[in-house]
Amino acid sequence: MADNLRVAVIGAGRMGADHIQRLHTRIHGAEVAAVVDIDLERAQAAVAHIPGARAFATAAEAYATSVENGDVNAVLIATPGFLHEQALLEALPLDIPILCEKPLTPDADSAWKIVEAEVAMGRKRIQVGFMRRFDAEYAQLGGLIRSGELGELLMLHCRHRNPDTPAGFTNEMLINDSVVHEFDVIRYLTGEEITSVQVRLGKASSKAPNGQHDPQHVLIETSTGVLADVEIFVNAQFGYEVATQAAFEDGIVDIGGDGGPYLRRAGRWGGTVTPGFEARFGAAYDAEIQSWVDAALRGEIGGPSAWDGYATAACCEAGVEAQKSGEKVAVVLRERPALYGEGAP
């Protein structure tokens, strides 16, 4: 096993660039060896300040000789979600560690193909970028749920608000690019699979680009009947907010509220609004990628697996169907392969 991960980052857009920076400056045991972007100039700009790193327009070129000679021994996929299936099927046969940004893929069938390909290899190579599992407050809430000190968890009320959406963000992506985080974190917090999803469309914001009905109200049920509601509001203008209130038999817990300094100045009080996911989850991304690197150097994965990617993709598929029908749609999962063990998600 290598003592250093030499990572090829596929996709140098907003998230890829953030991961490149983190791998280059803050993560121990890893370096950026190659950056691939269909926009070659963007890849070149991304490697300009990283000695030894090379830029390519396609993953195939980056893998061609460099995997064989050890120049590249890990892959981080940060292309848009609808391209992950192709990127994963190209990277998996290399039999090297893969961090795939969420979603694994946007729908259940394509995600299952990835699970099948990994199962055929016989070892877990894919970690999915559900970084909320590495956020300190979500981890504390998970600890409280598992400890039982507030009794049983009964309900979760989730707010997921983004300032605006990038070009090409579709109505389906409110579910399979955004609510996919809640699907994963609800599974992680409760330790249960999700059994149904319903979506209610109410009054829409005039700020939502054509084709998007924003906000939406998503109702989720887990296998023991924990109910979660999510306000997904991706053109909320004011800033970024991801917060959850958990109702227990013996108490209420809030996480993700505005933090930071509370300022009083010139007759006013308040603080600053979080502008985006980089600021809200910066520490969680660092912890997530460090965990991936540490585990990869031991030949393991250090976070959510392809099974988690598949289970959430099945929820997304149900959610997209529910957007259209307004009905409660059941989430039916295939049998969990032995490779992914048993027990909590």
Ligand X SMILES: NC(=O)c1ccc[n+]([C@@H]2O[C@H](COP(=O)([O-])OP(=O)(O)OC[C@H]3O[C@@H](n4cnc5c(N)ncnc54)[C@H](O)[C@@H]3O)[C@@H](O)[C@H]2O)c1
Ligand Y SMILES: O[C@H]1[C@H](O)[C@@H](O)[C@H](O)[C@@H](O)[C@H]1O
> Which residues form the interface with ligand X (CB under 6 A)?
10-16, 36-39, 42, 78-81, 83, 101-102, 129, 131, 177, 277, 281
Binding segment (CB under 6 A) for ligand Y, from list 36-44, 142-150, 174-182, 246-254: 174-182
Q: Among all chains, which residue has been given the structure tokens 């140098």?
A: 12
Of the two residues 198 and 280, which places its CB atom closer to ligand X in the complex? 280
The string of DSSP letters for 240-293 reads -EEEEEEEETTEEEEES---S--EEETTEEE-----SHHHHHHHHHHHHHHHHH
Comparing CA positions, the residue from 122, 8, 21, 26 lying closest to residue 70 is: 8
Of the two residues 12 and 246, which places its CB atom closer to ligand X in the complex? 12
Are the CB atoms for 208 and 214 separated by under 8 Å?
yes
Residues in the chain: 345
CB of 166 to ligand X, least distance (A): 6
Binding segment (CB under 6 A) for ligand Y, from list 176-184, 208-216, 218-226, 299-307: 176-184
How is residue 57 written in tokens? 């327009």
For 145, residues 6+ apart whose C-beta sits below 8 A from its C-beta are 153, 189, 190, 191, 246
Among 37, 107, 177, 221, binds ligand Y (CB under 6 A): 177
CB of 176 to ligand Y, least distance (A): 10
Beta pairing class for 227-233 and 216-222: antiparallel
CB of 94 to ligand X, least distance (A): 16
Asked if 162 touches ligand Y (CB under 6 A), the answer is yes
Are the CB atoms for 95 and 121 separated by under 8 Å?
yes
Contact code string over 244-283 relative to ligand Y, x by CB under 6 A? ---------------------------------x------
How is residue 114 written in tokens? 């990835």
Binding segment (CB under 6 A) for ligand Y, from list 89-97, 173-181, 195-203, 331-339: 173-181
Tell me which of ligand X, ligand Y, none is bound by residue 162, counting a contact when its beta carbon lies within the kind-specific cut-off of 5 to 8 angstroms: ligand Y
d(CA 31, CA 20): 9
How is residue 253 written in tokens? 């817990």
Of the two residues 96 and 100, which places its CB atom closer to ligand X in the complex? 100
Among 178, 198, 290, 312, binds ligand Y (CB under 6 A): 178
Phi, then psi, of 211 in degrees rounded to 5: 95, -20
Q: Which residue is nearest to ligand Y (CB)?
A: 178
Tell me which of ligand Y, ligand X, none is bound by residue 178, counting a contact when its beta carbon lies within the kind-specific cut-off of 5 to 8 angstroms: ligand Y
Residues at the site binding ligand Y, with contacts judged by CB under 6 A: 162, 177-178, 181, 234, 277
